[in-house]
Amino acid sequence: MQPIQFNPRDRALFYETVKKKVKEYFAQTGKSEKGNWKLYWKTIILFAAWGAIYTAILFSGLSFALTMILYIAFGIVASLIGFNIMHDG
């Protein structure tokens, strides 16, 4: 495939061309623009983990050290939600 070159001042043409190429890609491959089962399962698993950790922090009454580990895990899962789910969207 030949690379496409644009004049830096013609941003509208660039945007329209990229949008057209993306639509062509999805039409050719038959993939959904909204995601697939992997994205949906990843979303369900990450939000379930987030909710479980949050509930454990609030209601479990664990020791200080275990609570700190849960805080770290909570932060990691929250960042995974941000990086994975929001990026995929």
Tell me: the pLDDT tens digits for 41-86? 999 999 999 999 999 999 988 899 999 999 999 999 999 999 988 7
Ramachandran sector of residue 22 (left: φ over 0; alpha: ψ -120 to 50; beta: rest): alpha
Handedness of CA 60, 66, 72, 77 (dihedral sign): negative
Residue labelled with tokens 């496409």:
4
Tell me which of 1-10, 11-20, 40-49, 59-68 is least confident.
1-10
Q: In the chain, what is the greatest distance between 2 CA atoms, to the nearest angstrom?
A: 62
pLDDT for the residue numbered 68: 95
**Statement: residue 39 has pLDDT above 90:** no
Describe the chain by its helix, strand, coil percentages, rounded to 5. Answer: 75, 0, 25
What confidence score (pLDDT) does residue 16 get?
86
pLDDT at 54: 96
Q: What does the alpha-carbon distance between residue 22 and residue 74 come to, in Å, rounded to a whole number?
A: 35
Q: Which residue ranges make up each domain of the chain? A: 32-88
- Return the higher-pLDDT residue of 2 and 71: 71
Which pLDDT score is estimated for 46? Answer: 95
